[in-house]
Amino acid sequence: MNRYFKAKVIENLSLNSSHNLLTLEPLDPAAEPNPGQFYMIEAGDSYDPLLKRPFCWLQKTRETIQFLFRIKGKGTSLMRAFKKGKVISVIGPLGNGYPLPRKKRTPLIVAGGTGIISLFSLINKLSHNCHVFYGARNKDELLLLNELEKLGNKLIVCTNDCSFGKEGMVNEVLSQFLSANESIKTSCLIYTCGPKPMLQEITSIAFHEGIRGYVSMEENMACGFGACQGCVVNTISGYKKVCKEGPVFPIEDIVWT
Amino acid sequence: MDLAVEIGSLKLKNPVMTASGTFGYGEEYSEFLDLNMLGAVVVKGISLKPMEGNPPPRICETPCGMLNAIGLHNIGLKRFLKEKLPYLRQFDTKIIVNILGNTIQEYVRLSKALDDAGVDAIELNVSCPNVKKGGIIFGTDKRALSRLVLKVKQSAGKRVIITKLSPNVSDITEFAIAAEESGSDALSLINTLRGMAIDIDTQKPKLANITGGLSGPAIKPIAIRMVWEASQSVRIPVIGIGGIINAQDAIEFMLAGATAIQVGTANFINPMATIEIIHGIRSYSEGKNIDNIRDIIGRIHGTAGHNNINL
Ligand SMILES: Cc1cc2nc3c(=O)[nH]c(=O)nc-3n(C[C@H](O)[C@H](O)[C@H](O)COP(=O)(O)OP(=O)(O)OC[C@H]3O[C@@H](n4cnc5c(N)ncnc54)[C@H](O)[C@@H]3O)c2cc1C
Ligand SMILES: Cc1cc2nc3c(=O)[nH]c(=O)nc-3n(C[C@H](O)[C@H](O)[C@H](O)COP(=O)(O)O)c2cc1C
Ligand code: FES
């Protein structure tokens, strides 16, 4: 099974002004991804943009792989225009993915913005109930709400401008939850993905509360499979490649700058 | 049809190699392609001691190219010999080791060790724009370059020595000639061009190192021109590098005077790029009834151009 494959666009649905749901059908047999793994996707047919873009998978069926992406710059703007039937090249699944928790641990899933996409496949896979904390800037930026509700976990949603759910940042909501549920601290495990400043806040909460966990990191990538050394983050044991040794790292390993 | 070419005493089954720093130590690509098919594998630059490289962000995309400031992040000579070389040896391809040092002494020690280990060729990286000390000084100072090549050649016995030239000079032919006169068996060019990009939102450079090396299709016309100039100024073989994405690009380099070529950034976008290029060169040759790929090397030399401009 080759991790470099061609795939056909089955559907490219615009969810709102800044997010699309892309469904691809691999033309060759594709490997089963783990939660938190990602794919490098070709964004255009020309040399500009040149590099593939990294995206986490959202859902996988026997025939298709689904992605949810935010329109950010040049590459994702071109991806938004992908038409049904277009064939693109893809590399993946890549990276390590989230290690599953042991039976007795309660997962606390903490997502900021598009971080929910990476964590969604994990929530989907977890057999035990978890707490999901999900924050976005405003109501329009919230993704996958119906799907998350259907999964039947405890879900706390917050927005910075109070346009939906609780008001505030997801790290504040997590802190409040932990002070109200002292007993959970010894038996929980954090999984987090989102913007850097938020991840840094979550790391410091985890540190102060003595909770362990995992964080999924983002860095610019050229290859996605460990060849260019371009995507490193600083860890307590030196620079590590996000695409290969990550994107998921033990939360206490990251050295924030 | 014969695709074989020679770089000094080194015989390659075809002219397609991987460019240093874009192909890891070979292993990273073995799931995508059959390494036996390649003319040669050039591995990531090796230094005497491991180097941890530059802080992130280390790369960013630019129009039709990318900037990198990896900073020669590598595992060092000892681990390379122990962990990576034995793996590469299983394959029927030539192994070329790219090396980098701060002093002539370091290059000499590296070359000796690699000569003893029996690698097929050594490529001297004198042109990395991303490390503060060493390397680049040899690439931009002709006398320093001559001394370096001479010393390495004296100590690494009969091993094929390739000098990888920096494009960040005003006249590439002076450096090509200096390397040849000091005994270099071949030249490879070009390494990346120094470049820079700024994020206008944060108003900060996009790379932590501020500047980086530009690679990819954006640099191809410059690389073609430099290969054309260098290959006419020396008798030793020139290996063409810079923005090669497909067979057409590779053939363009050979027509300009390259005996062989290296594929760099393209490997990131299409990990099978090298194999597709080999197939493409074969079909080009078939289409043009070329029996021997060596016949196209430097085909355009001596052409006066459309306007008879003298250079
Ligand atoms: C492991 C991983 C998984 C990701 N999963 C998703 C996902 O599921 N959904 C989603 O919407 N986004 C995801 N991202 C972010 C996504 O890759 C970027 O938003 C996208 O590359 C932007 O491309 P662009 O051309 O539109 O933006 P531009 O800003 O024009 O891109 C310029 C360059 O910077 C790189 N870049 C820009 N932002 C990022 C970023 N945040 N992370 C890494 N590289 C970046 C681009 O890849 C490109 O090389 C993920 C990033 C990583 C590293
Ligand atoms: C990420 C990256 C790392 C590189 N590392 C090295 C290196 O270690 N030694 C070296 O001589 N050249 C290095 N290079 C330069 C390439 O070998 C090549 O000369 C250059 O990228 C131009 O070719 P391209 O346009 O096909 O990529 C590196 C290039 C890139 C993009
Ligand atoms: S993106 Fe190339 S090593 Fe990670």
Chain B residues closer than 8 Å to A219 by CB: 56-57
Q: Report angle CA A6, A7, A11 to the nearest 5 degrees.
A: 165
The more confident residue out of B305 and B295 is B295
Task: Report the percent of chain B where pLDDT is more than 90.
Answer: 88
Residue B208: which of B194, B219, B197, B222 has the closest Cα? Answer: B197
pLDDT at B128: 61
Q: What is the CA radius of gyration of chain B?
A: 18
Tokens matching residue A35: 């939660």
Confidence of residue B135 (pLDDT cuts 50, 70, 90): low
pLDDT, mean of residues A36-55: 96
Tell me the pLDDT of chain B averaged across its residues: 93
If one counts every other C-beta atom within 10 angstroms of the C-beta of residue B37, the result is 16
- The tokens for B181 are 């006169």
The C-alpha of B184 sits at a distance from chain A's nearest C-alpha, in angstroms, of 28
pLDDT band at B311 (very low <50, low <70, confident <90, very high): very low
Task: For chain A, list the domains and their CATH numbers.
Answer: 4-94 (2.40.30.10), 106-253 (3.40.50.80)
- The mean pLDDT of A193-198, rounded to a whole number, is 96
**pTM attached to this predicted model:** 0.95
pLDDT at site A88: 97
Q: What pLDDT score does B175 carry?
A: 96
**pLDDT tops 70 at residue B131:** no
> What single-letter amino acid sits at A109?
I
Catalytic-residue membership of B60: no
Mean pLDDT of the region A12-24: 95
- Is B188 touching ligand 2 by the criterion CB < 6 Å? no
Question: Which helix (H) or strand (E) covers residue A25, if one does?
Answer: strand A19-26
pLDDT cut 70: percent of chain B above it: 94
Judge whether A52 is closer than 8 Å to chain B, CB to CB: yes
Structure tokens at B172: 């590439």
Number of other CB atoms surrounding residue A3 within 10 Å: 18
Among B42, B35, B3, smallest CA distance to B19 is for: B42
Do B255 and B249 contact (CB within 8 A), yes or no?
no
Q: How sure is the predictor about B132, in pLDDT bands with cuts at 50, 70 and 90?
A: low
Residue-level pLDDT at B134: 54
The β-bridge partners of A215 are A192, A249
Instruction: Please give the share of chain A, as a percent, with pLDDT higher than 70.
Output: 99
Q: Is pLDDT of B307 > 90?
A: no
Q: Give the residue extent of every domain in chain B.
A: 5-53+70-194+214-296
Instruction: Supply the pLDDT for residue A182.
Output: 86
Residue A104: the pLDDT is 82
pLDDT of residue B309: 46
Choose the closest CB to B59 out of A49, A52, A222: A222
For B96, list phi and psi in degrees, rounded to 5.
-115, 125
- The answer to whether residue A77 neighbours chain B at the CB level (below 8 Å) is no
A202-248: pLDDT as tens digits: 999 999 999 999 999 999 999 999 999 999 999 999 999 999 999 99
What angle is formed at CA B36 by the lines to CA B34 and CA B42, rounded to 5 degrees? 95
Mean pLDDT of chain A: 94
Min CA distance, B268 vs chain A (Å)? 4
Residues in B closer than 8 angstroms to A52, CB to CB, are 268-269
Quote the pLDDT of residue B238: 98
pLDDT tens, A128-179? Answer: 689 999 999 998 899 999 999 888 788 999 999 888 888 889 999 999 999 9
Lowest mean pLDDT among A238-242, A248-252, B157-161: B157-161
Q: Which two tokens stand for residue B233?
A: 């100024």
CATH superfamily of B5-53+70-194+214-296: Aldolase class I (3.20.20.70)
